[in-house]
Structures are given as C-alpha cells and as structure tokens.
C-alpha cells in the first residue's frame, strides 16, 4: 500500500473523530413540529412533553406613518365620522413584550431545539425557515 495513502487515511480518521467530539458539545439541533409533539432529527421518538423558550423583550419602535381608514368616530355633534388618513406614530420603547412562540407553532414547522434530560425532553428555541 502507498504510504502516503495510508497516512492520509489515518489523518482522515483522526480528524473525523476530533470533529465528532467537538460537535458533540453543541447541543442544539433541528426538529419538526408534529400534530402531537416534537420530532428531533436525531431522535427516533416523538417528544410530546416539550418546553418552549419564553421570550420577554423590550421593543423599540422608530417613528413611522401608516395610512388607513377610520370608522366609528363621532364629531362634536355626535355625528359619525369616517374616512381615510395618515396616522403618525412617535418613536416608542415598549417594555415586557411577550413573543408567543408556542401559540404560533404548527405541524410541519421546522424548529431549533436543545435536547435536555438525556434527550427525553427538549426546549424549542425558535422556528427556522429557509
């Protein structure tokens, strides 16, 4: 056997072993939401009792304008007023905004999850899209 091919094969095997060891410390993985739970790509069983990350954030909105329709307002005489117009919003910081990830997950959605408790449970961090 060619000694260079043998050396290349040994190096390839060792690098593959080191790569798998390094990646074994990365716990997150992709999964798919099902009708009754979560199916991780590397785990053959569906996880029915899974966790979902609870995101509470501060939302910073820049000043912006929206066009829209107004209905149901009344003038000084009590007459109904309607029409279209531009609505101007000032910059605002809104504290404690909740992202309702769990309520928006549907079967077939791809998610990023972290397996916990030896892989029998998982925490869904976010929905992922291509």
pLDDT in tens, 47-56: 988 999 988 8
Token code pair at residue 44:
């053959």
- Which residue ranges in the chain fall short of pLDDT 50? 18-23
Calculate the alpha carbon distances from 78 to 69, 82, 84, 85, 97 in Å. Answer: 19, 13, 19, 20, 36
DSSP class of residue 81 equals E
pLDDT at residue number 56: 87
* Angstrom distances, CA of residue 112 to CA of 30, 52, 122: 5, 10, 10
The predicted model scores a pTM of: 0.61
């Amino acid at each position: 056997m060619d000694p260079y091919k043998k050396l290349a094969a040994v190096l390839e095997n060792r690098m593959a072993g080191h790569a798998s060891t390094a990646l074994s410390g990365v716990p997150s993985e992709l999964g798919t939401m099902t009708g009754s739970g979560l199916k991780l790509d590397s785990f053959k069983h569906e996880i029915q009792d899974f966790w979902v990350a609870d995101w509470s954030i501060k939302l910073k909105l820049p000043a912006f304008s929206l066009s829209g329709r107004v209905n149901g307002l009344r003038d000084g005489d009590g007459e109904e007023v309607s029409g279209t117009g531009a609505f101007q919003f000032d910059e605002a910081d809104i504290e404690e905004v909740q992202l309702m990830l769990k309520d928006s997950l549907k079967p077939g959605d791809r998610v990023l999850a972290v397996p916990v408790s030896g892989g029998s449970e998982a925490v869904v961090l976010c929905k992922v899209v291509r």
